[in-house]
Structure 1
């Protein structure tokens, strides 16, 4: 299984000092290893938020695409 992060750390090292692992990563993802295999990835909060925003955009595209080309309906703001 390939590592998808520039740095890695064992679960035991993460347990010993999680703050040091986050600080040493300098904003980049860290692979968390268990028995020398990636068990999880630790990513910065801003990266996670960007991923969630992107996924939301993909979901919205799935809603919008089938509606492309449909005729619009005029609505008065007073009717709402």
Structure 2
């Protein structure tokens, strides 16, 4: 059995009948659209999608920062005022 990462779920048939109503019912929460009782896809609002993309970008920056912190012993000190 697959894990469903949403508070709301609907069948593919129900979704096809009226996707706008499904979105209104869910509000700002994600919706799992099921095909044969398995998640086929998730429907999310633009605001939630943007938050997910931002989170992924932040994780990429965190990884880069950690890599650079690991190399701080080889850093060269620079006087910003002299530039």
TM-score by length of 1: 0.82
3-state DSSP class of the match of 2:29? Answer: coil
1:71 alignment counterpart:
76
Over the aligned positions, Cα root-mean-square deviation in angstroms equals 1.5
Which secondary structure does the structure 1 equivalent of 2:40 belong to?
A: strand
Q: Which residue of 1 aligns with 2:23?
A: 22
Segments of 5+ residues of structure 2 without an aligned counterpart are none
Q: Per residue, is there more helix in 1 or in 2? A: 2
Whole-Å Cα distance in 1 between the matches of residues 57 and 12 of structure 2? 31
Counterpart in 2 of 1:58? 59
TM-score with structure 2 setting the length = 0.79
**What 5-or-longer segments of structure 1 have no aligned partner?**
none
